[in-house]
Amino acid sequence: MKNKIFLLTTIFLMTIFLIGCGDESEDKKISDEKNSNTEKISEVVKIPPNDVIVADDFSNIQLDSADKPVFDKYTIWERQESGLPMELPPFEEYSDGKIAYLTFDDGPDDKNTPMILDILKNYGIHATFYVCGNMVEAYPDVLKRIYAEGHAIGNHSYNHVYKELYPSTDNFLKQINQTDEIIKSVIGVRPLTIRTPGGRAGMWTADYEPLMTACGYVEHDWNVSVEDATSKKPSPQEMIKFVDEQTNKSFRKDAAIILMHSNKGKENSAAALPGIIEVLVNKGYKFGVVTPMTPQPW
Ligand SMILES: [Zn+2]
């Protein structure tokens, strides 16, 4: 009996030991792979020539063009750990006549986002993609293409699930930081702009604003919508009409910030894009990408 107990105890302890070792080497393997992937990626993804990488003290943040995406080489936690400023210095909103900011939320995906990128390339126009961390994990190559082709990227949370994001500012910030890290692991830099899922009129409360400001993020809602995430399910022709009608009014600093989506199921939005661009060009709009300096829509 004693021997049996001894044997069982020995087997139990050896199993624990082996499982422990297994976990450790597996963890190490994963972290080694992650490191070598990150190194490989940062070697491959070059900074596009038009992009601005902010200085350690953000001193170069004031831009002279609406067509220059702005990124940071540090995440917020890296800034905090290195004692670098996290909050942006005061800056003027950019303004230079009528500028349309095409924005695409909830991607990237492997179908509509590439289609939208092809259309933008044909017209020689840059846009802004507010991406979700879980979508970037699924389609990192599409994010690399967005970046390489000179578009701006904004943070749109990790999973877009309202009930996980909005119970507290801590939950919200955690998803924003997580997504920054994912974006940085793919393209080597992180965005300074965010769009809160559902917009500020949704579940975003007054508590979120000071926290985002303290962490150097600038949130932008929109003032024109193609309504492609509503129950209306508009056709491409209806979306073009919405943009036409909604841009008949004037905007703060002449900035039209247009909400569209590029994820699965948004084929109509991709189909409407050439018509939307043509409506805007005919009304005298130039095109810009969203940066912290982009005027707030309201
Ligand atoms: Zn969204």
Q: What is the pLDDT of residues 96-134, one digit of tens each?
A: 999 999 999 999 999 999 999 999 999 999 999 999 999
Distance 260 CA to ligand 1 centre (A): 9
Q: What is the 231 CA–ligand 1 centroid distance (Å)?
A: 15
Q: How far is ligand 1, taken at its centre, from the CA of residue 155, in Å?
A: 10
Mean pLDDT of the chain: 88
Q: How far is the CA of 6 from the centre of ligand 1 (A)?
A: 59
pLDDT at 257: 98
> Residue 187: is its pLDDT beyond 90?
yes
Tokens of 108: 């990237």
Q: How far is the CA of 178 from the centre of ligand 1 (A)?
A: 17
Using alpha carbons, list the distances in angstroms from residue 237 to 10, 89, 214, 276.
73, 43, 42, 9
CA of 171 to the centre of ligand 1 (A): 17
Alpha-carbon torsion (174, 179, 184, 190), positive or negative: negative
Average pLDDT over residues 172-178: 97
Distance 262 CA to ligand 1 centre (A): 10
How far is the CA of 278 from the CAs of 86, 240, 260, in angstroms?
40, 9, 16
- What is the CB neighbour count within 10 angstroms for residue 170? 9
Ligand 1 center to 61 CA (angstroms)? 27
Higher pLDDT, 37 or 261: 261
Q: Which residues contact 235 (CB under 8 A, 6 or more apart)?
A: 268
**What is the Rg, in whole angstroms, of the alpha carbon atoms belonging to the chain?**
23
- DSSP letters for 217-245: -EE---SEE--TTSTT---HHHHHHHHHH
Q: What digits encode the pLDDT tens for the residues 188-203?
A: 999 999 999 999 988 8
The rounded Å distance from CA 198 to ligand 1 centre is 6
Least confident stretch, 26-30, 54-58, 225-229, 237-241 = 26-30
Cα–chain center distance at 142: 12
What pLDDT is recorded for position 131?
Answer: 98
How far, in Å, from the CA of 24 to the mean position of ligand 1?
Answer: 38
Give the global pTM: 0.86
* Whole-angstrom distance, CA of residue 175 vs CA of residue 25: 28
Which comes out higher in pLDDT, residue 154 or 207?
154
Q: Treating both helix axes as pointing N-terminal to C-terminal, what angle do 140-148 and 169-187 enclose, rounded to 10 degrees?
A: 70
Q: Which residues contact 207 (CB under 8 A, 6 or more apart)?
A: 169
Q: Rounded to the nearest whole angstrom, what is the distance from the C-alpha of residue 160 to the centroid of ligand 1?
A: 7
Q: Environment class of residue 3 by beta-carbon count within 10 Å: exposed (0-12), middle (13-18) or buried (19+)? A: exposed
294 close to 66: Cβ distance less than 8 angstroms: yes
How far does the centroid of ligand 1 lie from the alpha carbon of residue 128, in Å?
A: 13
The pocket of ion ligand 1, defined by CB under 5 A, consists of: 105-106, 197
- From the CA of 197, how far away is ligand 1's center (Å)? 5
By DSSP bridging, strand 224-225 and strand 193-194 are: unpaired
